[in-house]
Chains A and B, each alone.
Chain A
Amino acid sequence: MFGTKKPLWGPQPEQKKHYDAVLIGGGLHNLATAYYLAKEHGMTNVAVVEKRFIGFGGAGRNTAIVRANQRTQENVPLYKDALDLWPQLTKELDFNLMFNNCGNVNLMHSEAAMKAARMNVSTAQFLGVESHVLDAKQTKELVPALNLSQDITHPIHGSMYHPPGGIVRHDAVVWGLAKGAAKLGVDILQQTEAQGISTRQGKVTGVDTSRGHISTPKVMVSAGGYSAGIISHLLGLKLPISVLTIQAMVTQPLKPLLNHVVSSGAYHVYCNQTLKGEIATGAHMDPWPNYTTQVTARYIKHQAEALTEFLPCLRGVKFMRAWGGLADMTPDMAPIMDGNDPLDGFFMNCGWGYFGFKSSTATGRYMAEYMATGECPQRLRPFTFRRYEQHKLMGETAALVNYTPDN
């Protein structure tokens, strides 16, 4: 029965001998880049090369949360652009991305955290992103299930409330973008591994895949957690990235209980209730580099303990599934987006850590502009690879905590 269903993006195309651009990695960033290359820049002779299947990596393993309440003034506008794109793309792609802007509630558990929240909210308001500081009582009004008791490990002082954020159906975004890109003529080559990038006199000339050689003047690597390994292995270019395993899980379905995404830095927990009623919750990362996506009992226990402290009604609820994914962390918790440096025609879009999902569509659009015109869009300029040697690290600390193995 299932075998008769054709993919939305058509049958697997034959790999051509030449493309105007080859995008390595079949995740959201590259599918969005391919879509916008074709749609806004008329570049339709483009291939997306994916070793496994589209949406295998972070695109299919995240907890579907989107928001624009980051810390730095360089980051916030990029995430805001992405947030504004979801309803627009739903129409454009004629595919329901199930964007539910239920709002995000970040719990704060100390006066210091409240101060940080006030700084974040100021940045957001300055940049036109709606965000508020709430005290404990107001937070409880939004999320009645919360436990305001002083008798827990991290009592709740208040929260940062960000109404425009929420959740988007991650698989729908993969399928919708793949459908949109394929319709415009992009070749999505699954089960095709990029094995080499050929260069001549400082210029990209082609890509070798498991299906043969492609000649192309432009290559982008944006393969989530695998990007840094691919770039270091194929080009010998080392990046300031550590790849860590991050785990998530869902409970059995429950009656409606949470109307917002609720997260807590101190407890290392973020959770939301899916449309099916499951509580989807993410844990933090094993603080050492890993390419495994296996799960560990340690985090299942941790999530259960943390969740039931501030949402005591979840006691006794069972976890149904757990999974792991990869996060490519940079020292300043901000991504690396760069092009034509050190090689002409080579572009990279990586180091997204666990934020890549939220920003994928806007980033794809800007990277498409960068690849098509050769001019770096203003929005992406602060994210240059050279910022590390210039000692201009970003300090994007709105992340729940500093998760890199450097801490």
Chain B
Amino acid sequence: MALMITCPVCGRRNGYEFRYGGEDKGAYPWGQDMDPRQWAEYVHMNSCTAGVQKEWWYHRDGCGSWFTIFRDTVANVEVENPEERT
């Protein structure tokens, strides 16, 4: 089963139209005094969650939007926001 992703502009589309943009690590740390270790943490390090994670996607072969979704990395399917569900 191929991945389907919901673009906020174009709706639910084939996952191969999109480019993965990384785990959601919060806002870019503008103006914060960061040492190299903290930068490496922000730039390179991942949680590698086996389960639901929040992540960035880019609609490369579509409207060009950047947005976040929740996806189950074990089943490889988009899921609803788990916080909203509870």
B44 & A243 in contact (Cβ 8 Å cutoff) = no
Residue among B19, B40, B47, B75 making CB contact with A389, cutoff 8 Å: B40
A228 contacts B2, CB within 8 Å? no
Q: Which residues of A contact B15 (CB under 8 A)?
A: 288
Restricting to A97-122, which residues have a CB under 8 Å from any CB of B? none
The answer, among B41, B44, B49, for a CB contact under 8 Å with A331, is: B44
> In the bound complex, what is the Cα–Cα distance between A192 and B45 (angstroms)?
28
Q: If A389-B36, A389-B40, A390-B36 touch, does A290 touch B76 (CB 8 Å cutoff)?
A: yes
A294, B65: Cα distance in complex, Å: 28
Chain A residues within an 8 Å CB radius of B49: 229, 232
Contact, CB under 8 Å: B20 / A232? no
Contact with B along A373-407 (1 / 0, CB 8 A): 00000000000000011110000000000000110
Docked complex Cα distance between A287 and B58 (Å): 13
| A202 interface residue per 8 A CB criterion | no
For the complex formed, measure the closest distance between the CB of A358 and the CB atoms of chain B, giving whole angstroms.
Answer: 23
With a CB–CB cut-off of 8 A, which chain B residues contact A388?
Answer: 40, 44-45
Give the size range of B's interface with the partner: 20 to 34
**CB <8 Å contact, B39 and A405:** no
Inter-chain contact B46/A241, CB cutoff 8 Å = yes
Closest CB-CB distance, B77 to chain A, in whole Å? 9
Distance A114 CA – B48 CA, assembled complex (angstroms): 36
Q: How large is the interface on A (under 10, 10 to 19, 20 to 34, 35 or more residues)?
A: 20 to 34
Inter-subunit contact A291/B44 (CB<8 Å): no
Q: A287-B20, A389-B37 are in contact. Are A238 and B74 (CB under 8 A)?
A: no
For the complex, is B50 an interface residue (Cβ under 8 Å from A)? yes
Total inter-chain residue pairs, C-beta < 8 Å: 73
Q: A388-B40, A389-B37 are in contact. Are A238 and B20 (CB under 8 A)?
A: no
B19, B22, B76 pick with most chain A CB within 10 angstroms? B76
A17 beta carbon closer than 8 Å to chain B: no
Any A CB within 8 A of the CB of B27: no
Interface string of A307-338 (1 = CB under 8 A from B): 00000000000000000000010010000000
A292 sits at the interface (CB 8 A)? yes
Q: What residue of chain A has the Cβ atom nearest to residue B18's Cβ?
A: A288
Q: Which A residues touch B40, using CB under 8 A?
A: 240, 388-389, 391
**How distant is A155 from chain B, measured CB to nearest CB, in Å?**
26
Do residues B22 and A292 form an inter-chain contact, with CB atoms below 8 A? no
Whether A253 is near chain B, meaning CB under 8 Å from some CB there, is: no
Enumerate A223-281 residues with CB–CB distance to B below 8 Å: 226, 228-229, 232, 238-243, 245
Q: Which residue of A lies closest to B47 (CB)?
A: A232
Judge if B9 is at the interface, Cβ distance under 8 Å. Answer: no
Task: Note all chain B residues with C-beta closer than 8 A to A391.
Answer: 36, 40
Query: In the bound complex, do residue B75 and residue A239 qualify as a contact, i.e. CB atoms below 8 Å apart?
Result: no
Distance between B63 CB and nearest chain A CB, rounded to angstroms: 19
**Pairwise interchain contact B45-A239, C-beta atoms closer than 8 A:** yes
Q: Is A153 an interface residue (CB 8 A)?
A: no
Q: What are the 6 A-B residue pairs with the smallest beta carbon separation, nearest first?
A: A240-B44, A288-B20, A238-B45, A389-B40, A228-B48, A405-B20
18 other A-B residue contacts (CB within 8 Å) besides A226-B50, A232-B46, A290-B76 = A229-B48, A229-B49, A229-B50, A238-B45, A238-B46, A238-B47, A238-B48, A239-B46, A240-B44, A241-B46, A245-B76, A288-B20, A289-B20, A289-B55, A291-B74, A292-B76, A389-B41, A391-B36
Q: Which residues of B line the A interface, CB within 8 A?
A: 1-3, 15-16, 19-20, 22-23, 36-37, 39-41, 44-50, 53, 55, 73-76
Q: List 30 A-B contacts (CB under 8 A).
A: A228-B46, A229-B48, A229-B50, A232-B48, A238-B45, A238-B46, A239-B48, A240-B40, A240-B44, A240-B45, A240-B46, A245-B76, A286-B3, A287-B20, A289-B23, A289-B48, A289-B53, A289-B55, A289-B73, A290-B76, A291-B74, A292-B73, A292-B76, A294-B76, A388-B40, A389-B36, A389-B37, A389-B40, A391-B36, A405-B20
- Which residues of A come within 8 Å of B, CB atoms? 226, 228-229, 232, 238-243, 245, 286-292, 294, 296-298, 328, 331, 388-391, 405-406
